[in-house]
Amino acid sequence: MGTALVYHEDMTVARLLWDDPECEMECPESADCSPVVGQWVSGQGPEGERRSCLACPPLHSPEYVAMVRGTQSLGKVELQALSGKYDTVYFLTSLSICARMFPGATLQLVDAVLTGTAHNGLALVRPPGHHSQRTAANGFCVFNNVAIAAEYAKQKHGLHRILIVDWDVHHGQGTQYIFEDDPSVLYFSWHRYEHGRFWPYLRESDADEVGRGHGRGFTVNLPWNQVGMGNADYVAAFLHVLLPLAFEFDPELVLISAGFDSVIGDPEGQMRVTPECFAHLTQLLLVLARGRVCAVLEGGYHLELLAESVCMTVQALLGDPAPPLLGAMVPCGSALESIQRVRAAQAPHWTSLQHQDMAPVLSSSIGSPEARPQPPPPAGAEYMVAAAAEAVEALRALLDQLRLRPLPPVRTAIALTSTDAALVLPPGVLHQEGSAPREETEAWARPHEALVQDEALTALGKVLNLMDGILGGQVSSGIAATPALATAATLDVAIRRGLYLGAQRLLCVAVGQAATPPPTSLMTMFHISVPLPGATGGLLNCVLGLVLPLAYGFQPDVVLVALGPAPGLHDSHSALLASMLRGPAGGRVLALVQESKPQLTGALARALHGEAPPSLGPCSAASPEDTQALKHLREQLEPKWRMLQVAGAPPP
DSSP assignment of 171-234 equals --HHHHHHHTT-TTEEEEEEEE-TTTTSTT--GGGSTT---SGGGTTSEEEEEE-SS--BHHHH
pLDDT over 70 at 160, yes or no: yes
> DSSP H helical segments within 115-181, as ranges?
145-157, 173-179
Q: Which CATH number fits domain 160-401: 3.40.800.20, 3.10.20.740, 1.10.1530.10, 3.40.50.10860?
A: 3.40.800.20
Q: Where in the chain is the domain with CATH 3.40.800.20?
A: 160-401, 410-643
Predicted pLDDT of residue 539: 86
- Is the pLDDT at 417 greater than 90? The verdict is no
CB atoms within 10 A of CB 388: 13
Per the model's pLDDT, the better-predicted residue between 99 and 70 turns out to be 70
Q: Please, which pLDDT band fits residue 396 given cuts at 50, 70 and 90?
A: confident
* Range name among 128-132, 258-262, 328-332 with the lowest pLDDT average: 128-132
Residue 100, pLDDT score? 60
Query: Which are the catalytic amino acids?
Result: 131
- pLDDT at residue 523 tops 80: no
CA distances 343 to 383, 551, 552, 641, 649, Å, are: 33, 22, 21, 20, 16
Residue 406: cis peptide before it, omega within 30 degrees of 0? no
Rounded to the nearest integer, the mean pLDDT of the chain is 85
| pLDDT greater than 60 at residue 27 | no
Apex CA 231: angle with CA 230 and CA 237, to 5°?
A: 95
Q: Which of 42-46, 351-355, 569-573, 608-612 has the highest mean pLDDT?
A: 608-612
- With a cut of 70, say whether residue 532 has pLDDT above it: no
The percentage of residues in the chain with a pLDDT greater than 90, rounded to a whole number, is 56
Query: Span 432-445, mean pLDDT?
Result: 94
In this predicted model, which residue has the larger pLDDT, 292 or 373? 292
Give 370's contacts (C-beta < 8 A, 6+ positions apart). Answer: none
The answer to whether 89 touches 139, Cβ cutoff 8 Å, is yes
- Give pLDDT, residue 52: 45
Q: Which pLDDT band holds residue 105 (cuts at 50, 70, 90)? A: confident
β-pair partners for 220 = 188
CATH 3.30.2350.10 fits 410-643, yes or no: no
Give bridge partners of residue 588 from the DSSP assignment. Answer: none
What's the pLDDT score for residue 461? 96
Which pLDDT value is given to residue 95?
59
- Tell whether the model's pLDDT for residue 373 goes beyond 70: no
Query: For 608-617, what is the mean pLDDT?
Result: 91
Please tell me the total number of residues recorded for the chain in this structure.
Answer: 652
CA 607 vs CA 167, 321, 603, 613: distances in Å: 25, 11, 6, 6
Angle, vertex CA 292, rays to CA 288 and CA 296, nearest 5: 110
31-40, 130-139, 150-159, 535-544: range with lowest mean pLDDT? 31-40
pLDDT in the model for residue 140: 86
pLDDT bracket for residue 238 (50, 70, 90): very high
Give the three-class secondary structure for 120: strand
Give the CA count within 13 Å in the CB-facing half-sphere of 605. Answer: 26
Most confident of the ranges 420-424, 610-614, 648-652: 610-614
Confidence of residue 39 (pLDDT cuts 50, 70, 90): very low
What is the predicted pLDDT for the residue at 212? 97
> Residue 159: what pLDDT?
98
Q: Residue 538 — very low, low, confident or very high, per pLDDT cuts 50/70/90? A: confident
Cα 396 from Cα 410, distance rounded (Å):
26
Residue 102 backbone dihedrals phi, psi, to 5 degrees:
-60, -50
Rounded distance, CA 488 to CA 491, Å? 5
pLDDT band at 48 (very low <50, low <70, confident <90, very high): very low
What pTM did the predictor assign?
Answer: 0.91
Q: At 293, give phi and psi (nearest 5°).
A: -125, 130
The three-state secondary structure class of 511 is: strand
On the question of pLDDT at 284 being above 90, the answer is: yes
Determine the pLDDT at residue 356.
Answer: 64
The pLDDT of residue 362 is: 42
Helix 438-445 × helix 487-500 angle, to 10°: 110
Distance CA 35, CA 310 (A): 10
**521 and 553 in contact (C-beta within 8 Å)?**
no
User: Among the residues of 472-524, which ranges form H helices?
Assistant: 487-500
How confident is the model over 555-562, as a mean pLDDT? 94
User: Which of helix, strand or coil describes residue 415?
Assistant: strand
pLDDT(372) > 70: no
Residues 6+ apart with CB under 8 A from 638: 644, 645
Task: Specify which residues 230 forms β-bridges with.
Answer: 272
Percentage of the chain exceeding pLDDT 70: 82
**Does position 251 have pLDDT exceeding 80, yes or no?**
yes
- How far is Cα 526 from Cα 231, in angstroms, rounded to an integer? 22
